[in-house]
Amino acid sequence: MDTPWELVDLDHDFTRAPQDGSRSEAAFDTRPRVVIGCAARPVDVPVEAYDVLLTGAKDVPRPWVSCPDPREAAARLCESVTASPDAAIMLVQVLRLGRNLDITERLVAESLAYSALQGGATFRHWLATTPRGAARPAERPVRLDREGDRLTVTLDRPWVRNAVDAATRDALCEALTVAVADPSVVRVDLRGSGSAFCSGGDLTEFGTSTDPARAHRVRVECSPAALLARCAGRVTAHLHGACVGAGIELASFAGRVVAAPDTRIQLPEVAMGLIPGAGGTAGIPRRIGRQRTAYLALSDAELTAHQAWAWGLVDEVTGSV
Q: For position 295, what pLDDT does the model report?
A: 98
Q: What is the pTM of this model?
A: 0.94
Instruction: Count other C-beta atoms under 10 Å from residue 310's C-beta.
Output: 14
Are 245 and 266 in contact by the 8 Å Cβ rule? The answer is: yes
**pLDDT tens column, 50-96:** 999 999 999 999 999 999 999 999 999 999 999 999 999 999 999 99
**pLDDT tens column, 162-196:** 999 999 999 999 999 999 999 999 999 999 999 99
The residue range of the domain holding 46 is: 5-83
Residues 259 and 145 in one domain: yes
Rounded Cα distance between 111 and 223, Å, is 10
Residues 156 and 232 in one domain: yes
Residue that terminates a domain, selected from 63, 83, 103: 83
Q: What is the mean pLDDT of residues 97-117?
A: 97
Residues 140 and 250 in one domain: yes
Rounded Cα distance between 208 and 279, Å, is 20
How many domains would you assign to the chain?
Answer: 2
Q: Which of 297, 251, 300 is nearest to 275 (CA)?
A: 297
Rounded Cα distance between 26 and 45, Å, is 19
Q: What is the mean pLDDT of residues 103-109?
A: 98
In sequence order, the 6+-apart residues with CB closer than 8 A to the CB of 48 are 25, 28
Residues 52 and 153 in one domain: no
Q: Is the pLDDT of residue 21 over 70?
A: no
Residues 70 and 186 in one domain: no
